[in-house]
């Protein structure tokens, strides 16, 4: 059974997650804004689209379809994103194993490492607060 049962549920969790990251680790977002990169992340099961706009200060995150042209596109199953945010698998290992599809120069994708790492610190709390799949951590 998938961790997230709907797109709305995943969007809600990610909005809370990235708002907490912005509050608790401003340096994670500043790395992206300094790079001026745009990354579109698409998940499957459920289908979502999140766009990180590093050309805006503060970092703009768009939940849903965006007309922005990304420098990097990342596609992965939502359950894999869940595993990455719980530190069960690294982004690098997931990419190396072919579980993540990446369009654009791979070296640019590493600019987003800090955001994912900061997200890993608060993700278990987000799961508990939103009672995602009965998570108790």
Domain interval for residue 116 = 7-125
pLDDT, tens digit, for every residue of 26-61? Answer: 899 999 999 999 999 999 999 999 999 999 999 999
Is there a domain that residue 2 lies in?
Answer: no
Predicted pLDDT of residue 13: 97
- Helices 113-130 and 78-85 pack at an angle, to 10 degrees, of 100
Number of structural domains (the chain) is 1
Angle at 19 (CA atoms; ends 91, 37), nearest 5 degrees: 55
- Percentage of the residues of the chain whose pLDDT score is greater than 90: 80
Tell me the per-residue pLDDT of 90-116, one tens digit each, with 9 for 90 and over: 888 998 999 999 999 988 888 888 999
The answer to whether residue 132 sits within a structural domain is no
What is the domain-level CATH number for residue 104?
3.30.1050.10
| pLDDT band with cut points at 50, 70 and 90 for residue 124 | very high
Task: Kindly state whether residue 136 falls inside one of the protein's structural domains.
Answer: no
Whether the predicted pLDDT of 137 surpasses 70:
no
| Average pLDDT value for the chain | 93
Tokens 């961790």 belong to 3
In a domain, 135, yes or no: no
Cβ neighbours, 10 Å, residue 50 = 21
The helix-helix angle for 113-130 and 7-24 (nearest 10°) equals 120
Q: What global pTM score does this model have? A: 0.93
């Amino acid at each position: 059974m998938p961790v997230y049962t709907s797109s709305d549920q995943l969007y809600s969790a990610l909005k809370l997650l990235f708002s907490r990251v912005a509050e608790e680790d401003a340096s994670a977002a500043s790395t992206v804004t300094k790079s001026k990169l745009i990354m579109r992340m698409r998940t499957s099961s459920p289908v979502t689209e999140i766009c990180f706009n590093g050309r805006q200060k503060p970092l703009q995150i768009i939940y849903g379809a965006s007309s922005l042209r990304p420098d990097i596109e990342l596609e992965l199953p939502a359950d894999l994103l869940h595993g990455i945010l719980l530190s069960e698998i690294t982004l690098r290992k997931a990419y190396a194993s072919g579980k993540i599809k990446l369009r654009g120069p791979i070296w640019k994708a590493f600019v987003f490492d800090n955001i994912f790492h900061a997200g890993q610190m608060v993700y278990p709390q987000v799961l508990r607060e939103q009672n995602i799949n009965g998570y108790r951590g």
